[in-house]
Amino acid sequence: MTGPGDKTRWTLPALGGAAYVGAGLLLVFVLMGLVGPWLLGGSPTAQNLDHLLEGPSRAHLLGTDENGCDVLTELCHGARLLLGLCVSVVSLCLFLGLLLGVSAGYLGGLWDELVMRVIDVLLAFPGILLNIAIVAVTPKAGVGVLIFALAVNGWVGYARVARGQVLRVREQEFVLAAQALGCSPLRIMWRHILPNILSPIIVQATFGLAGVVLVEASLSFLGLGPQVPYTWGALLSQGTSSFWRAQHLLLAPGLSIALLVLGCNLLGDGLRDYVDPKRKRSA
């Protein structure tokens, strides 16, 4: 028998074609960020004033922008930055969300009440507004500030899912058995509960990735991003301002963002159906 928990034989899980397309798109993004800048060699800010706002050509596969920078190089460096941002924000949010969600769900009582109240407050207004406000009042913008701003309310989703899952698992026999054996709460949470609630969290993280990409794009578009000229959002904003002269500048970053988010959504949908087959009928 091969199932999700079988470690002896490794086969591709039956996620469905769409999910693999999504995974492929994500892989392209990761490769773009990891290998792209190295393959292309050039600097994203190297200006070539003889070639401003040029369309795609052999020398510049995606054309050049208004400073004469190669768009493809910019996109690849932007992908590297975005990759770092995504990984750090999602892992920070995962850490915080699991820590608070699992402990709140398992320990209950006053701690649970407190965590839930904080979650209520953070959910009481649209997340992007909080992100904007934090970036806006911080005197020095940068990648660190952006990570902080995104993590401040990013953990909430994970915490809610984790808490809900813990409440489901908490009363099951294997937890009772562990308690009867005298395991410490910390060990129960870490060794017994966590592995059993991970799958919906992973699904959530896949969608969370898309969220990070979109929020970064919005913030950079509003001029509140990390103040690096080649993040995807900044490229998009630049493309909008020089749109009437050169349409390709808006197309490249726009499609990149759309495809990456699409990839996350496809993979997330597939994973969700895989983890929770009951949904498959309707979803």
Give the DSSP letter of residue 8: S
* Candidate list 55, 120, 174, 186; residue touching other proteins; CB under 8 A: 120
Q: Give 37 or 270: the residue with its C-beta nearer to other proteins.
A: 270
By CB under 8 A, the count of residues binding other proteins is 50
Say which amino acid occupies 29. F
Tell me the C-alpha distance between 138 and 134, whole Å.
6
Tokens of 280: 């498959």
Q: Which of 220, 219, 200, 196 is nearest to 208 (CA)?
A: 200
Say which amino acid occupies 136. A
Please, are residues 96 and 159 in contact by the beta-carbon 8 Å criterion? yes
Q: Give 36 or 127: the residue with its C-beta nearer to other proteins.
A: 127
* Candidate list 24, 55, 84, 126; residue touching other proteins; CB under 8 A: 126
* CA distance to 132, 191, 240, per residue, from 152 (Å): 12, 27, 30
CB of 190 to other proteins, least distance (A): 30
**Position 275 contacts other proteins (CB under 8 A):** no
At residue 119, the 3 state secondary structure works out as helix
**Position 257 contacts other proteins (CB under 8 A):** yes
CB of 56 to other proteins, least distance (A): 18
* Candidate list 40, 198, 262, 275; residue touching other proteins; CB under 8 A: 262
Tell me the C-alpha distance between 135 and 176, whole Å.
46
**Position 224 contacts other proteins (CB under 8 A):** yes
Binding-site ranges for other proteins (CB under 8 A): 117-118, 120-130, 132-134, 136-140, 210, 214, 217-218, 221-222, 224, 233, 236-237, 239-240, 243-244, 247, 250, 253-254, 257-259, 261-262, 265-266, 269, 281-283
